[in-house]
Chains A and B, each alone.
Chain A
Amino acid sequence: MAGKPKLHYFNGRGRMETTRWLLAAAGVEFEECFLESKDDMIKLLNNGVLLFQQVPMVEIDGMKMVQSRAICNYIAAKYNLYGKDLKQRALIDMYVEALMDLNELLMAHHLQPADKKEQHLATIVDKATNRYFPVYEKVLKDHGQDFLVGNQLSRADVQLLETLLMAEECKPDLLAKFPLLQSFKARTSNIPTIKKFLQPGSQRKPPLQEKDLPKVMKIFY
């Protein structure tokens, strides 16, 4: 029997957080090996376990997987979170790729220097409320179902919840104009595996603060 998946990354969200969400939502227990210093990174590099010399890296099913999208694709497919056919998969991919774009923007917010923060927040509000959230609100409105695709939980739902929560961390009332997203958020948060992941003490990571950035940079540069 294969052991638990083992995640190699620093102790923060970054490009590993979505993987943590997917595994948790799928009810899969996983271990984590945190990079605390540059030496830890050098050790991984010297062991030849990082295909492109980068993390995230996840040891799973006999593979040392790298590239966050490849990892998430594999987990989603393995645990039936990727729709039932090619067209559902296409929809899920479209929704998920856009969420990754928005996530990048949201994650960058906490790292903005104080004098740029306000303008950055304005960009987030604009993109989130004009470009992204209306799409998901409309999807839910048009089919009236609980989940984004195929009337079944998929990675699109898990990733949407992840993003909605991150957005609210930037601006608590960002969902004010999106009632269906608000009820989606409540409903999806209540799924037992996800509810567990949202509780204190889980492997979910807090947002990276500006003061933590130097330590993280030292690991990689």
Chain B
Amino acid sequence: MAGKPKLHYTRGRGKMESIRWLLAAAGVEFEEEFIEKKEDLEKLRNDGVLLFQQVPMVEMDGMKMVQTRAILSYIAAKYNLYGKDLKERAWIDMYVEGTTDLMGMIMYLPFQPADTKEKNLALIIERATTRYFPVYEKALKDHGHDYLVGNKLSWADIHLLEAILMAEECKPDILSAFPLLQAFKGRISNIPTIKKFLQPGSQRKPPADEKFIATVRKIFNI
């Protein structure tokens, strides 16, 4: 029997957080090995376990998987969170790429020059409320189902919940114009595996603080 997946990353959200969400939502227990300092990353590189010298890396099913999207796609497909056919998969991919773009903006915010922070935050809020959230609100409105695609929980729903919560950390009332997304958030948060992940003590990571950003800069030389 294969062991639990093992995640290699820093002790923060970054590009690994969506993977943690997906595994948790699928009810899959996983272990984590944290890169605390530059030497830890060097060791992984010298051990030859990082295909392109980068993390995230997830040891799973006999593979040392790298590249966030490759890892996410594999997990989604394995645990039946990727729709039932090619067309559902296409919609899930489109939705997930949208939330990836939005979360990417939020993730990089702490790494932007300090004097651009206010402008970038304003752009995030504008994009969230005029480009991204309206799409998901409309999708839910048009079919009236509980889930984005195929009337069934998929990677798209889990990713959207993650994006919503991250956006609310930027602006707590960011969903004020989106009643269906508010209901969606309540509903998906209550799914037992997800509810568990949202409780204190889970493997969910907090937003990066100044101290953590400094550590990340040192580890990755950025």
Q: Which residues of B contact A74 (CB under 8 A)?
A: 86, 89-90, 93
Known contacts being A52-B131, A87-B61, A98-B52, is A93 close to B74, with CB within 8 Å? yes
Known contacts being A67-B94, A70-B94, A86-B77, is A78 close to B51, with CB within 8 Å? no
Known contacts being A69-B93, A69-B97, A70-B90, is A97 close to B69, with CB within 8 Å? yes
**In whole Å, how far is A136's beta carbon from the nearest beta carbon of chain B?**
11
- Report the Cα distance A210→B188, complex, angstroms: 47
Query: How many A residues touch the partner, as a band?
Result: 20 to 34
Known contacts being A53-B131, A89-B74, A90-B73, is A65 close to B90, with CB within 8 Å? yes
Q: Which residues of A contact B65 (CB under 8 A)?
A: 90, 94
Q: Which residues of B contact A90 (CB under 8 A)?
A: 63, 65, 70, 73-74
Contact of B178 with A by CB under 8 A: no
Known contacts being A63-B87, A89-B73, A93-B67, is A73 close to B98, with CB within 8 Å? no
- Report the Cα distance A61→B73, complex, angstroms: 22
Residue of A nearest to B132 (CB): A52
Contact of A66 with B by CB under 8 A: yes
Q: Cβ of A51 and Cβ of B89 under 8 Å apart?
A: no
Contact of B215 with A by CB under 8 A: no
- Report the Cα distance A109→B97, complex, angstroms: 25
Residue of B nearest to A139 (CB): B51
Contact of A191 with B by CB under 8 A: no
Q: Cβ of B74 and Cβ of A73 under 8 Å apart?
A: no
Map CB proximity to A onto B59-77 as digits: 1 under 8 Å, 0 otherwise.
0010101111110011001
- Report the Cα distance A99→B50, complex, angstroms: 15
Q: Cβ of A94 and Cβ of B67 under 8 Å apart?
A: yes
- In the complex, which of the residues A63, A66, A74, A96 has the most CB atoms of chain B within 10 Å of its own CB atom? A74
Q: Which residues of A contact B86 (CB under 8 A)?
A: 74, 77-78
Q: Which residues of A contact B69 (CB under 8 A)?
A: 69, 93, 97
Query: How many B residues touch the partner, as a band?
Result: 20 to 34
Contact of A132 with B by CB under 8 A: yes
Map CB proximity to B onto A61-85 as digits: 1 under 8 Å, 0 otherwise.
1010111011001100110000000
Residue of A nearest to B86 (CB): A77
Known contacts being A52-B131, A73-B89, is A94 close to B70, with CB within 8 Å? yes
Contact of B122 with A by CB under 8 A: no
Contact of A33 with B by CB under 8 A: no
Q: Which residues of A contact B53 (CB under 8 A)?
A: 131
Q: Which of A96-137 contact B (CB under 8 A)?
A: 96-98, 101, 131-132, 135
Residue of A nearest to B68 (CB): A97
25 residue pairs from A and B, CB less than 8 Å apart: A51-B98, A51-B135, A52-B101, A52-B131, A52-B132, A52-B135, A53-B131, A61-B87, A63-B87, A65-B90, A67-B93, A67-B94, A69-B69, A69-B97, A70-B94, A73-B89, A74-B90, A86-B74, A87-B61, A89-B77, A94-B66, A97-B67, A97-B69, A101-B52, A135-B51
A74-B90, A78-B86, A96-B70 known; 14 new pairs, CB 8 Å cut-off, are A51-B98, A52-B98, A52-B132, A53-B131, A69-B93, A74-B86, A74-B93, A89-B74, A89-B77, A90-B63, A93-B69, A93-B70, A94-B65, A97-B70
Residues of B at the A interface (CB closer than 8 Å) are 51-53, 61, 63, 65-70, 73-74, 77-78, 86-87, 89-90, 93-94, 96-98, 101, 131-132, 135
